[in-house]
Amino acid sequence: MPLPDPMTRHPIPGWKGTAFLKAIVDHPLVEVGDYSYYDDSRGPEHFLARCVRYHFDFIGDRLIIGKFVAIAQAAQFVMNGANHPMGGFSTFPFGMIGCEEAPPMTPERLALRGDMVIGNDVWIGREAVIMPGVTIGDGAIIGTRAQVARDVPPYAVVVGNPGRVVKLRFAPEVIAALLDIRWWDWAPEKIARNLALIAGADIDALRAAV
């Protein structure tokens, strides 16, 4: 059976609480890979409004989400617009509310951390919080309500507040092989033919399918 069209709005038959993000996200500063989805019983079409916080066009930071990312309800992607100037006596953002006398809201004053990058085949649990500028590696799992303020290695499992890596999902040599294979970049037809291997745990068999 082939994979569905990645532009399918609701890929789960009979359930409108899950949507492929490519079908519902239209924002010049948000990049989404094929088959990544958001699940929200309140309506996944509100992903940008409910989940992507403080994302101001004038700052210009990007949210980049890879392929086959699973995002649970109320996960929060906190962008650089949440930052306030901290080098002076007051942290109040006078410049953002139109005070002409205020020093300009420059990247240096806001201590911007750059783009937020979510790798491929990442699972983000319910109400997890990803802080500005964080990169989450391919294959990582972010636990429910984890608060992630630091980069996450590929295939790491992160839980807690502050978020911490509690384990790697596989041995280092298996992780290296998976990052080399990059099954998520295969053609959809090839992925569909090899789903048993992708969902399995035999790295030699998956490597042979390359």
Q: Which residues are catalytic?
A: 84
Phi, psi of 208 (to 5 degrees): -65, -25
Q: Is the dihedral of CA 184, 185, 190, 192 positive or negative?
A: positive
Element (H, E) at 52: strand 52-53
Amino acid letter at 114?
G
* Helix (H/G/I), strand (E/B), else coil: 141: strand
Residue pair 163/142 in contact by the 8 Å Cβ criterion:
yes
Q: Which residue has the tokens 């509310």?
A: 97
Of 138, 134, 127, 137, the closest CA to residue 148 belongs to: 134
Q: Which residues contact 150 (CB under 8 A, 6 or more apart)?
A: 134, 163
Q: CA-CA distance, 120 to 178, in Å (whole number)?
A: 11
